[in-house]
Chain A
Amino acid sequence: MNTGLNVPNWTGVSASLLLVALAAAIAYRQRLGLTRELVAAAARAGVQLVAVAAVLGVIFAHGGLAAGFGWVIVMIVIAGQVAGRRGRGLRRAVWSATAGVAVGTIVTLGGLLAVRVIAMQPRVVVPLGGMIVSGAMLAAGLTLRRLREDAEQGRPAIEARLCLGLSAREAFLPHQRSALRTALLPAIDSTKVVGLISLPGAMTGLILAGVDPLTAIRYQIVVMYMLVAATTLAALATARLAEHALFDHAHRLLPLLENLRAMR
């Protein structure tokens, strides 16, 4: 397919590997202990992208909408696993993260599809779904990490509130608010400076594809608002579900799983 774009050929891609080699050489010279990780990450990214491109090619050509949504579901499951690891020690962390990412994705992507702001095509659903899942995953992971820290370090304060007759929800509320603020600040900050400090992905892609910048920003605005909503919903849902698993029916803060194992 001739896109009329100056897309690098495989020789160009191989040449860009020299940049990784340069970074790896600097890391090696500086004895950062990161050379192996850097090379492995670059190799992994390359292999992943080639594999994904091959799969997406098949989905776009033959899979139809069902395969597109299937791909989004797979992304949600993987994102749940990754974000869930940030809450290691919390009960049902992976479930909370997966459900949180799913809520953020379904509401935003579903909403935009329902009102036909975006087209119901795999070529649209998959990349936009990827952006949403990625943003939601970061928010869910940050939320879980903060909740985990607060459940561990904030135990005396939480128990002091419980002792005053507050319910588990009320006793944990200040910690939950603080975790949500932490999780949402990166999304809010990047929304504030969008276009000033960074030209975001969708807009960059469209401009590279030759679309007029004024047209490209319309898409970008939709993507940006969608991401803000998705990260907020994902963080809220994850926090709510994870918080529920922190306490038992008697409004007692349960020990973290690794502490429980240490006790045994």
Chain B
Amino acid sequence: MGGFTLDAITVTRGPVRLLDGVSGCVEAGRCTAVVGPSGAGKSTLLRVLNRLEEPTAGRVLLDGRPIGEMDVPALRRRVGLVAQQPVLLTDRVADELRVGRHDLAAEQSSALLQRVGLPVDFATRPTAELSGGEAQRLCLARALAVEPEVLLLDEPTSALDGLTAALIADLAHDHVVGGGTVVLVSHNLAVVRRVAHHVLVLHGGRLVAAGPPKEIDYLETG
């Protein structure tokens, strides 16, 4: 499970409409990509899905139930968000992985590090020594540690040095194969074409196209 229904979502901030009547769905167990130019409302949409942002109008259903009625920390453990900019919260890599999962065993930490392409011996490294790309990967691993049903990835390829689009594509693919749902915001259209089952195209806060990647002109024209 882990499917969203968006019902006329509008988010306004002052005079600006960040999202304007967006309706659509994110299928459970699939990868949905959200694409569009900068400022289209892609990141806002992800923040709405885990209630970091509250719609001014409209509602979001998760598996048929309004997310507004759910316990918020429990919802966020089900719906993990990896933000655009990596933010590290502790001094040591192993501690970082335990922020959302205090009982994480050492073997699980190692498995997570491997999953995001970091060496196992990184567990003892100070987080201050990590490069931007390594920090971004660690943030991915930290989100995976909570074992979310839905993974919201906000442009994760933007700050990755050395981590190719292939790893993101593999992670998204693995999560879907494991029964999870992925919502991927990306400017990297090659990754989108490779992993997405469904694409939502946003422009100026509006949903201007939706469908399988093959039917989306934006993926061809950018």
Give the interface of A toward B (CB within 8 A). Answer: 156-157, 159-167, 174, 248, 250-252, 263-264
Beyond A164-B100, A165-B73, A263-B13, is A157–B52 a contact (Cβ under 8 Å)? Answer: no
Residues in A with CB closer than 8 Å to B139 are: 160
Residue B83, interface by CB 8 Å: yes
A-B CB proximity, top 9 nearest: A164-B100, A165-B77, A263-B14, A163-B81, A156-B87, A160-B87, A165-B76, A251-B72, A264-B14
Among A156, A163, A263, which residue has the most Cβ atoms of chain B within 10 A? A163
Closest residue of chain A to B152, judged by CB?
A163
Residue B89, interface by CB 8 Å: yes
State whether B76 touches A164 (Cβ < 8 A).
yes
How far apart sit A174 and B72, CA to CA, in the bound complex (Å)? 20
Residues in B with CB closer than 8 Å to A248 are: 54
Which residues of B, 110-145, contact A by the 8 Å Cβ criterion? 139, 142-143
State whether A157 touches B14 (Cβ < 8 A).
no
Interface 0/1 of B161-188, CB less than 8 Å to A: 0000000000000000000000000000
Residue B85, interface by CB 8 Å: yes
How far apart sit A108 and B166, CA to CA, in the bound complex (Å)? 63
Residue B50, interface by CB 8 Å: yes
Can you report 8 residue pairs joining A to B where beta carbons are below 8 Å apart? A156-B87, A163-B50, A163-B80, A164-B99, A164-B100, A164-B101, A164-B142, A250-B72
Residue B40, interface by CB 8 Å: no
State whether B89 touches A162 (Cβ < 8 A).
no
Residues in B with CB closer than 8 Å to A159 are: 52, 83
Q: How far is the CB of B138 from chain A (nearest CB, A)?
A: 11
Interface 0/1 of B6-30, CB less than 8 Å to A: 0000000111000000000000000
Residue B197, interface by CB 8 Å: no
Residue B146, interface by CB 8 Å: yes
State whether B74 touches A157 (Cβ < 8 A).
no
How far apart sit A167 and B75, CA to CA, in the bound complex (Å)? 11
Residue B51, interface by CB 8 Å: yes
Give the interface of B toward A (CB within 8 A). Answer: 13-15, 50-54, 68, 72-74, 76-77, 80-83, 85, 87, 89, 99-101, 139, 142-143, 146
State whether B99 touches A252 (Cβ < 8 A).
no
State whether A163 touches B143 (Cβ < 8 A).
yes
How far apart sit A248 and B50, CA to CA, in the bound complex (Å)? 15
How far apart sit A164 and B81, CA to CA, in the bound complex (Å)? 8
Closest residue of chain B to A253, judged by CB?
B52
Beyond A157-B87, A251-B72, is A164–B146 a contact (Cβ under 8 Å)? Answer: yes
Closest residue of chain A to B53, judged by CB?
A252
Q: How far is the CB of B74 from chain A (nearest CB, A)?
A: 7
Residues in A with CB closer than 8 Å to B142 are: 164
Contacting residue for A165 out of B13, B74, B82, CB 8 A: B74
How far apart sit A248 and B81, CA to CA, in the bound complex (Å)? 19
Contacting residue for A160 out of B53, B54, B74, B83, CB 8 A: B83
Beyond A157-B89, A252-B52, is A164–B14 a contact (Cβ under 8 Å)? Answer: no
Residues in B with CB closer than 8 Å to A251 are: 51, 72-73, 76
Residues in B with CB closer than 8 Å to A162 are: 52, 73, 76
Closest residue of chain B to A159, judged by CB?
B52
Closest residue of chain A to B15, judged by CB?
A264
State whether A165 touches B100 (Cβ < 8 A).
yes
How far apart sit A163 and B83, CA to CA, in the bound complex (Å)? 9
Residues in A with CB closer than 8 Å to B13 are: 263
Beyond A250-B51, A250-B72, A263-B14, is A164–B80 a contact (Cβ under 8 Å)? Answer: yes
Residues in A with CB closer than 8 Å to B143 are: 163-164
Beyond A156-B85, A160-B83, A160-B87, is A166–B73 a contact (Cβ under 8 Å)? Answer: yes
Residues in A with CB closer than 8 Å to B85 are: 156
How far apart sit A263 and B12, CA to CA, in the bound complex (Å)? 10
Among A160, A248, A263, which residue has the most Cβ atoms of chain B within 10 A? A160
Residues in A with CB closer than 8 Å to B76 are: 162-165, 251
State whether B72 touches A160 (Cβ < 8 A).
no
State whether B54 touches A250 (Cβ < 8 A).
yes
How far apart sit A163 and B151, CA to CA, in the bound complex (Å)? 11
Among A157, A164, A174, A251, which residue has the most Cβ atoms of chain B within 10 A? A164
Residues in A with CB closer than 8 Å to B101 are: 164
Residues in B with CB closer than 8 Å to A250 are: 51, 54, 68, 72
